[in-house]
Amino acid sequence: IKHEEVKLVQGALAYNRNLTSQSLQEELQNQWEIKVSQRRIDQLRQQFNLTRIKSKTIKQETLQFAGIEIFSALAQHVGILDHWNRTIQQRLQEVTKTQSEKANRGGDHIRARHRDGTFSPRYNRLASVRHTKFASITDKVKNKDLFRLSISKIKANNLSRKNLAVLFLPLVTNNGATRNVDNPLGNALRYACGYNYKNATIDKYLRELKYLQVSTDLINCNARFWSRFWKQYDSQDHKVACYYIDGNVKP
């Protein structure tokens, strides 16, 4: 092997200490048509004190549904969740100001409950319950103690997490129905919002939002948000946000 070829081998070994002798042998043959044995390369390693350093093995963890975190990051980045949270919190403040807590904090229809607090069959036979069972939300909310709703005591981070779960319903269900959250695809919520919500929790949350009568506020919130969002990129483009709301179909 010539002196120039030795210098070439030395430079290659110094540049990439992870390079194997076989890889270097093939590279010399293919690129410069230099034939040198692996044994000779090993000798040059010893001569120049350039022994091979094994590269560290990179462990890659494979996570199911990890791709949904991209949408989660996007939702956080654009700020839509902050607007939803503020809208709901403002509505809660309005309710707090307009509705006084009921004197009986033990709950309504105590005699129609079991000892553990659950409703007995007698509850459904009460006249007040039968008359309002199929009433509109507007009528039901008049006699509803909204201070007993879980959402009235919810922390800001939990509110944001549940709103994120609602935002992902079209992605983790076939048709947006909360009952499909319990299917395997619904487990993606664990990676999307940090908690593996199930149908019962999401369904209860949506029901409580319904009792708050916050839907109109949220629709206006969405329209204002996206109008301002796109306007910052093109102030001359007057986009219109159009919503179709089917009030007879549960989300």
pLDDT digits (tens, 9 = 90+) for 193-240: 999 999 999 999 999 998 888 888 998 998 889 888 888 887 776 666
Q: Which residue(s) pair with 119 in the sheet?
A: 113
Which of the four pLDDT bands, split at 50, 70 and 90, describes residue 144? low
Tell me the average pLDDT across 161-184.
88
Question: In a 10 Å sphere around its CB, with 0-12 CB exposed, 13-18 middle and 19+ buried, how is residue 84 labelled?
Answer: buried
Q: What is the mean pLDDT of the segment spanning 35-51?
A: 92
Which pLDDT score, from 0 to 100, does residue 47 have?
92
Average pLDDT, the chain: 82
Q: Which pair of tokens denotes residue 117?
A: 């607090």
Domain residue ranges of the chain, discontinuous segments joined by +: 3-47, 60-101+145-251, 106-139
Closest CA to 106 of 151, 148, 150, 153: 148
Q: Which of 29-38, 58-67, 241-250 has the highest mean pLDDT?
A: 29-38
Look at residue 11 in the predicted model and tell me its pLDDT.
92
Q: Is the pLDDT of residue 183 over 80?
A: yes
Share of the chain above pLDDT 70, in %: 77
Residue 194 backbone zone (phi > 0: left; psi -120 to 50: alpha; other: beta)? left
212: buried, middle or exposed (CB in 10 Å: 19+, 13-18, 0-12)? Answer: buried
Mean pLDDT of 173-190: 87
Record the tokens describing residue 189, joined without a space.
């919520």
**Mean pLDDT, rounded, for 158-185:** 89
pLDDT tens-digit series, residues 149-161: 888 889 999 999 9
Would you state the pLDDT for residue 104?
46
Q: How far apart are CA 230 and CA 66, in angstroms?
A: 28
pLDDT, tens digit, for every residue of 107-134?
Answer: 556 666 666 666 677 776 776 666 666 5
* CA atoms of 116 and 118, how far apart (whole Å): 6
pLDDT tens per residue across span 81-112: 999 999 999 998 888 777 655 444 445 566 66
More confident residue, 235 or 168: 168
